[in-house]
Amino acid sequence: QVTLKESGPVLVKPTETLTLTCTVSGFSLSNARMGVSWIRQPPGKALEWLAHIFSNDEKSYSTSLKSRLTISKDTSKSQVVLTMTNMDPVDTATYYCARIGFGAATNYFDYWGQGTLVTVSS
Amino acid sequence: SSELTQDPAVSVALGQTVRITCQGDSLRSYYASWYQQKPGQAPVLVIYGKNNRPSGIPDRFSGSSSGNTASLTITGAQAEDEADYYCNSRDSSGNHPFGGGTKLTVL
């Protein structure tokens, strides 16, 4: 059974750095053609893809947020970590991690965590 | 461009067929995936690839693609299909942007 679970602070102050952890089970981050993405959703707004990391350690970041994001993985702990620097109230959102599935001419998010709401406020 | 464009809202009468569309340059090269999201819940994958449904997704959901447009079709919409629907696709840079979402109302 594949599961993903996000963890991290519920409240951060402006200018602080956010660190979120995605703990996965039911699959290994070291398996070939495996990956995890981070996706967020501000209250009442659309989904926004942030970053992904593949099992070969290939990484990709949202063009608009690239300077603030770092994604990494710890295969031994089955965890993927996302850091976002210089947090601002507009970064208030539910943050999801999702497993990446691979297909011909397509990637997709086949399993999602429940999400964690992060509020940015002083 | 890596942007994906969706109509903000669509409505359908109960039992009728509805098509939700997604436009973007990346769709000329890559297939879209589609996600259903109900209030307070995480998104659920409903269609991926050329026209693939994950296990547990009803066969009234189908996908298609032509040129720069991907479509999600619900044939015989049910009350429980009322939700927000998002498309997603990778682009040539490795980004995976989402569309702005379509709110489906079943009348």
Give the chain A residue whose CA is nearest to the CA of B91: A106
Give the chain B residue whose CA is nearest to the CA of A51: B95
Contact A63 B95 (CB under 8 A): yes
Give the chain B residue whose CA is nearest to the CA of A114: B42
The pLDDT of residue A116 is 98
The pLDDT of residue B1 is 47
Residue B18 has which token pair? 């509805």
Chain A residue numbers with beta carbons less than 8 Å from the beta carbon of B1 are none
pLDDT digits (tens, 9 = 90+) for A68-100: 999 999 999 999 999 999 999 999 999 999 999
Q: Average per-residue pLDDT in chain A?
A: 95
d(C-alpha A94, C-alpha A114), whole Å: 9
Which residues of chain B carry a pLDDT beneath 70? 1-2
Minimal C-alpha gap between B50 and chain A (Å): 9
* Over residues A59-76, mean pLDDT: 96
Contact B42 A115 (CB under 8 A): yes
The pLDDT of residue B2 is 58
Contact A103 B97 (CB under 8 A): no
Contact B33 A62 (CB under 8 A): no
Mutation for B interface: A53, A96, A108, A114, most B CBs within 10 A: A108
Query: What type of residue is A3?
Result: T
Check: CB of residue A79 under 8 Å from CB of residue A38. Answer: no
* Over residues A29-42, mean pLDDT: 93
* Residue B65: its H or E element: strand B61-66
The CB-side HSE value for B20 (13 A sphere, CA atoms) comes to 38
Q: Residue ranges of the alpha helices (H) in B5-106? A: none
